[in-house]
Structure 1
């Protein structure tokens, strides 16, 4: 009988690690303040031993609302260390809260420097819930991370038996189990009970073959998001510039328009040296390249959501890139 694949599980907290007041506490469970570390999560899923040899890696048992640059960089370094310490490692799973899971996944998909699959997994119901989705999600994430076909696809997201690309997936529902969706292109594959099934591959450039290396950085350039709505003025944009923003992503009306007042403020921001990227609040489709946008010096964020466009623009600025249009066309 062949040895089971070795998979590391890095625990970062979130709903998948949370313990509520009882099996029907599905919403206000964070009020208990009880969050399991990675060993506690693994102990609740003994079935993991059926599919892999597990290497638990404690991190920070925090809500994903608290995840940001410092935690992202630390995760990159942890993945570096795991690959070096375990040459027989098949893959890495990162447990994560669903609030910002897609942002962490995209950051890792752009910045990791290891060839191993990295799969982010979360849950919509806490560890204490009746019919919690976390245990099966975790088992399937380990199965995907151990699959050699998961290599070369960037960071992946696994919930509800579905394998999604980090660049394209987004959370679409507050409470439903099928919350993570890729609106324009669909899943990469599925984790079925009998096998892991793959159907497509991402074409955009992915880690580890990227021009972004954050391991020597102390911080990322500040990039903010300005949300467009009827009657919006330029106050938020002016405030971002005053706060030191090096870039601003406009979450515009589909297919990327902003109000006249926002346009004036964004044009002034460009004139002051701030890079402005036009995205859309629609959640699907490409941001349009318009004559006015080009003339104003705005760049188009392709089909990235505003939160992911922010990450890519910040990394582009950190890398000293001047042709940001190329970056958005490449990644």
Structure 2
């Protein structure tokens, strides 16, 4: 009997599963439409089965721009089923495209019902490429999911030998291998060979045990992101309200401001019953709840990026429409 830990590997597609036209195709590989299943990825990376007893789990094989709420919900169910079918499961690894990896990771960190470590992993170069990072990233993710020290840390993201918190990490570069960064706080830890080292812990609450249960939902409340820029006149905000948005996240100018016409449109949205949360396009830093924002009825996103503030606001709206309660949710998660 193997003494290796049992880890499930769910493949959702993305670069980590993709096959280009040849080994030098590191940019146009999505044009082939060829993506490997979880089983096929493990066959391509035989070293993965030497670090854990890996259970390959079929899911979908798509580019990550196609992943959203329905996949998040199905992954919550799938992770729950896996832990029931495999009581000895040490952890779960989810292969994912990097374009929306941080959004899936954060959504799962707020909605999962399982207590075992869940690690999202991707790659910047397709698995077929010369010097692909897919194989070593997968091995590192499996080691992280199996490590006892990974328990109770929320959903983790592993690429480039670094362990990041789902809430805090963001993709910062189109093609560089060190693209996933936690700009305000730094990585939680690192993987050095077989050793998984942690150096800090995220303080914000995470699943399991959150009030956000999406398992039986068909959709989330509509929340849109309005990107601020010089001369923004509120056209996008008004269009979102007309489309039925129940929430709007403003990706404002740092430190959390918008041009006057945009600010007026956001205030009108609040008057119409839409919850508005102010984030910033800067990518890091806390948006202060200034007198100006408070007077307009606009909430602070804390230090969440606009794309993650959108997820939290949508989930918050499944539990309450009270602005004070939603403000408390942003201070908690």
TM-score by length of 1: 0.99
Aligned position for 1:315: 315
- CA 1:103–1:267: 2 relative to 1, 3 Å: same
Q: Once the 2 structures are TM-superposed, how far is the Cα of residue 129 of structure 1 from its aligned partner?
A: 0.2
Structure 1 residues 103-145: Cα deviation after superposition (integer angstroms, max 9, x where no partner)? 0000000000110100000000001100100000000000000
Pair 1:52 & 2:52 matched: yes
Task: Specify every segment of 5 or more residues in structure 2 that has no aligned partner in the other structure, as ranges.
Answer: none
Structure 1 residues 280-306: Cα deviation after superposition (integer angstroms, max 9, x where no partner)? 000010012111110110000000000
Aligned position for 1:4: 4
Q: Once the 2 structures are TM-superposed, how far is the Cα of residue 218 of structure 1 from its aligned partner?
A: 1.5
Aligned position for 1:255: 255
Aligned position for 2:103: 103
TM-score by length of 2: 0.98
**Equivalences for 1:1-331 in 2 at 5 Å?**
3-320=3-320, 322=322, 323-331=325-333
CA RMSD of aligned residues (A): 0.9
Q: Distance in 2 between matches of 1:327 and 1:315?
A: 10
Task: Specify every segment of 5 or more residues in structure 1 that has no aligned partner in the other structure, as ranges.
Answer: none
User: Which sits farther off after the overlay, 69-78 or 317-326?
Assistant: 317-326
Structure 1 residues 192-251: Cα deviation after superposition (integer angstroms, max 9, x where no partner)? 114111100111001102111111211100000000000011110000001000000000
Q: Distance in 1 between matches of 2:9 and 2:196?
A: 19
- CA 1:16–1:2: 2 relative to 1, 3 Å: closer
Structure 1 residues 167-202: Cα deviation after superposition (integer angstroms, max 9, x where no partner)? 000000000000000001000000111411110011
SS at match of 1:191: strand
SS at match of 2:218: coil
SS at match of 1:93: strand
Q: Is the 8 A contact 2:143 2:194 kept in 1?
A: no
SS at match of 1:137: helix
Runs of 4+ in structure 1 off by over 2 angstroms are none
